[in-house]
Amino acid sequence: SQQEIATPTRTQQILKKHGFTFKKSLGQNFLIDQNILNKIVSAAQLTEQSGVLEIGPGIGALTQRLAEHARKVAAVEIDQRLIPILSELFADQDHVAIIHGDILQIDVKQLISEQFADCASVHVVANLPYYITTPILLKLLEERHDLSNIVVMIQKEVAERMAADPGGKEYGSLSIAVQYYCEPELVTLVPHTVFIPRPNVDSAVIRLKVRSEPPVSVKDEVHFFRVVKAAFAHRRKTIYNNLASFTGKQNKERLTEALLSAGVDPSRRAETVSIEEFALIADALYENH
């Protein structure tokens, strides 16, 4: 079969052949380890009928492996210099589409309908550029695409915050935003030695199993997320004090009532408050809003 891209020798060879130099500003850290690739791909639970959206293929380390397991791979890469390299490497693979674009700007809904019309499930799999991990994931989740799961390599601390339960210091508005849309699971921690060049941070692979429905139903999602954000504004303050800045001084009684009706002691901190409790608080504050 084809030569593996994700080895130190082959990667250096491709970079050298094309005179490619890394752009740190684009979060370019390429994978050179088969073992990690295997873990990422098996976590995605692909079938022969799966379509995969890959974000940031680089020189195709992960793309190559995904193409062996999926019906169709569409890889969106922002760096124009990588497009001819990828086109050459995947020239004989009709089921791999290389798309030049910025994932934050692209119409993902249209991409999915154009690329994956004959696929039974759609997955997002990526070794993400770390400088925009959160905006990429929140965009994909908020747009509510019909995805089976999202398996991504991200910064370890961000993975821990996304998967955190109430009670610890990792738990915050990001945990709630992610857990509203999916069930996160840590797949594996990843040492920085598996990349060229090596990133300055620790990495982890996380799987987000997309929920068919949120775990709580709220009267107004925008309001719910505003309340959550406000509750975590100052981590050392109580939920009462944080939300008092949000609702305004004239509404202090209503705020106390809302917290008590949700069964939440006003002296608690937001980091102990569950998503279910936040839903009750937000809905109580939404009344005669």
89 is a site residue for ligand SAM (CB under 6 A): no
Q: Does 50 bind ligand SAM (CB under 6 A)?
A: no
Chain-centroid distance of CA 269 in Å reads 26
Nearer to ligand SAM by Cβ, of 205 and 243: the residue is 205
Examine residue 62 and tell whether it contacts ligand SAM (CB under 6 A).
yes
Q: Is 200 annotated as a binding residue?
A: no
Contact between 138 and ligand SAM (CB under 6 A)?
A: no
| Rounded-to-integer distance, Cα 282 and Cα 264, Å | 12
Residue 170 assigned to a binding site: no
251 is in an annotated binding site: no
**Residue whose C-beta lies closest to ligand SAM:** 56
Residue 1 vs residues 4, 63, 68, 70: alpha-carbon distances, Å: 9, 15, 10, 16
CA triple 56-60-62, angle to 5 deg: 80
Q: Does 206 bind ligand SAM (CB under 6 A)?
A: no
Beta carbon of residue 174, minimum distance to ligand SAM (angstroms, whole number): 19
- Closest contact distance (angstroms) between CB of 159 and ligand SAM is 14
Residues that bind ligand SAM (CB under 6 A): 26-31, 55-58, 61-62, 76-79, 102-104, 127, 129, 132
Q: Which residues are annotated as a binding site?
A: 29, 31, 56, 77, 102, 127
Q: Which residues are annotated as a binding site for S-adenosyl-L-methionine?
A: 29, 31, 56, 77, 102, 127
